[in-house]
Chain A
Amino acid sequence: QVQLQESGPGLVKPSQTLSLTCTVSGGSISSGAYYWSWIRQNPGKGLEWIGYISDSGSTYYNPSLESRVTISQDTSKKQFSLRLSSVTVADTAVYYCARSASGPPGNFQHWGQGTLVTVSS
């Protein structure tokens, strides 16, 4: 059974870059069948899809965040990562990594437990 675990700083200063890593166990991230997403949740805006990276390394970002987001992968470490630049307090949220089911990229079958990131000086 695939498992995902987010890691990274819980506190980021305004204008800095938020960096999170998702480590995958119980499966490959380069099998060619899946998409790996970042999703965030804050009380004000509910659940928001940030973007995905495919097993082959292609990416797609939410246009609302596209100018600030980079998702990358390290297949040797079975990890994929999120970088969100120029953060503000509005980026305070629980950040989840997720894997799609086989098929459409946006059907989130497996989720990490989530990690709270607070943007504050």
Chain B
Amino acid sequence: DIQMTQSPSSLSASVGDRVTITCQASQDISKYLSWYQQKPGKAPKLLIYDAINLETGVPSRFSGSGLGTHFTFTISSLQPEDIATYYCQHYDNLPPYTFGQGTKLDIK
């Protein structure tokens, strides 16, 4: 199985800050990476797919980059409604599809 290593596991930032989360795949997954946002008691919500593409309706302050094994998720200016846990997930050719362990983001 492809392992997804996400860091940090938790993060505290101020409103307006730039926030960055990284995700490392244990082998080359090309562009096949998604980022999800999960708020307490809710299902994950797709934010970014194919590593860099913003899902329809998602604010432009969210962005993704990377290819191969190293990926980055960025919030350019943190808003109070962005408090959530964020997950990366690969969907390369070969299942099983695996998720990172999550990054819990809160307001400082």
Number of residues of chain B lying within 8 A (CB) of chain A: 24
Cross-chain contact A113 with B42 (CB below 8 angstroms) = yes
Q: How far is the CA of A60 from the CA of B1 in the complex (A)?
A: 14
Q: How far is the CA of A90 from the CA of B22 in the complex (A)?
A: 29
Closest residue of A by beta carbon distance from B34 = A107
| Interface flag for B101 (CB, 8 Å) | yes
Contact residue among A47, A63, A106 (Cβ-Cβ distance under 8 Å from B44): A47
A-B contact count (CB 8 A): 59
Contact residue among B49, B87, B98, B101 (Cβ-Cβ distance under 8 Å from A107): B49
| A interface residues (Cβ-Cβ under 8 A, vs B) | 46-49, 52, 60, 62-64, 96, 98, 101, 104-109, 111-114
Pairs across A and B, CB under 8 Å, 16 listed:
A46-B102, A47-B89, A47-B99, A49-B97, A49-B99, A52-B95, A62-B96, A63-B96, A96-B44, A104-B91, A106-B92, A107-B32, A108-B34, A108-B36, A111-B44, A114-B43
Contacts A106-B89, A107-B34, A107-B49 aside, 18 further interface pairs with beta carbons under 8 A come to A46-B87, A47-B102, A49-B95, A49-B96, A49-B99, A52-B95, A60-B95, A64-B96, A101-B46, A104-B91, A105-B95, A106-B32, A106-B90, A106-B95, A108-B44, A109-B55, A111-B44, A114-B43
